[in-house]
Amino acid sequence: MYKYVIRRLLLAVPVLLLSSLIVFGLMRVMPGDALTALMAESGNVGERELKKLRKDLGLDKPYYEQYLLWVWQMVSFNPGDSIFTNEPIPVSLKKAIPVTVELAALAMILGLVIAIPIGVLSATRQDTPPDYAGRVVAVSGLSLPDFWLGTLVITFAAIWFRWIPPIGYVSFWESPWRNLQQFLLPAAVLGFRLSAATMRMTRSTVLEVLREDYVRTAWAKGLGGRIVVYKHALKNALIPVVTIVGGQLGVLLAGTVVVETIFALPGMGRLTVEAILYRDYPVVQTNVMLVAATLVTLNLIVDLTYAWLDPRIRYS
């Protein structure tokens, strides 16, 4: 097991290195730089002055030098400062990460809370009205994009209830109630989409497992319905569900960009998009690497979860 984990971690190194090259290259291919974004509109800054400022920021150095410097900063856990705001990147991340983590975690929880019971209900009541309703919900979740749903939710909340989640983020520790008010709707929007695929997968795998011989044996032994479904069938049905959930983490992080914008939450998504628009190279590069590292780690955790769910799976 340990060997497996170490091997996976070693494999992560080339993945991260490749990611770093791609994000570094893409940012340099995009026209303009942070100074263009910051000053050009005024039309008051001469080319000589811009050259001086570029030199001050190290933007005049050869690309390989900029890349190596950045890689060194990353491995020494000092990603530097934002070109735009001068704020140290760890400080920006410290503010943004909790927002995105809270949003993603709540969305995941809500998604699973919606998906698994409905998926099981759909499977156990196959081709009955509850099943049809569950399938409609699942297909809606797959079809409705986050941005559309988010806009509708916030608009109609304002029209019908004269209420929207309070704008102006406050952390959970400052005010738990206000924080939850701010996060529940966006998490529900994000979670709804996430729940759709999980719901469908839960339904189909539970249906499959319910037809297995050992489940028939359990019924034959006279066990109660709940015990058969939840103790015998569900655990085995969850392995593909876990795969789906693991695969959706990337989708979840991408979804936070849109949902954070609509609900005015200052998370990683907004930080990264703004940094891309303003060509804030160090911020974009660090954020992308962080997301890449997170996805690599989460995928590893998902793989390890298989072993817990299915005792037959061994990694050694």
Residues engaged in binding other proteins (CB under 8 A): 30-33, 36-46, 49, 84-86, 145, 147-148, 151, 154-155, 157-159, 162-164, 166-169, 254, 257-258, 261-264, 266, 269-271, 273-274, 277-279
Tell me the sheet residues that pair with 88. 81
- In angstroms, the CA 80 to CA 285 distance is 11
> Residue 151 or 236: which CB sits closer to other proteins?
151
Any residues with CB less than 8 A from the CB of 253 and at least 6 apart, and which?
A: 100, 104, 268, 269, 291, 294, 295
> Residue 44 or 76: which CB sits closer to other proteins?
44
Nearest partner of 227 among 218, 214, 216, judged by Cα: 218
Tell me the sheet residues that pair with 81. 88
> Residue 52 or 231: which CB sits closer to other proteins?
52
- In angstroms, the CA 305 to CA 40 distance is 52
> Residue 240 or 266: which CB sits closer to other proteins?
266
> Residue 155 or 217: which CB sits closer to other proteins?
155
CB of 287 to other proteins, least distance (A): 13
Burial, 47: exposed, middle or buried (Cβ in 10 Å; 0-12, 13-18, 19+)?
A: exposed
CB of 33 to other proteins, least distance (A): 8
CB of 137 to other proteins, least distance (A): 23
CB of 169 to other proteins, least distance (A): 5
Q: Give CA torsion, residues 8, 14, 17, 19, to 10 deg.
A: -80
CB atoms within 10 A of CB 109: 12
> Residue 64 or 161: which CB sits closer to other proteins?
161
CB of 253 to other proteins, least distance (A): 11
CB of 19 to other proteins, least distance (A): 17
CB of 199 to other proteins, least distance (A): 23
What is the DSSP-derived secondary structure letter of residue 165? P
> Residue 65 or 87: which CB sits closer to other proteins?
87
- Measure Cα distances from 96 to 74, 102, 174, 270, 313 in Å: 18, 10, 16, 9, 37
CB atoms within 10 A of CB 144: 16
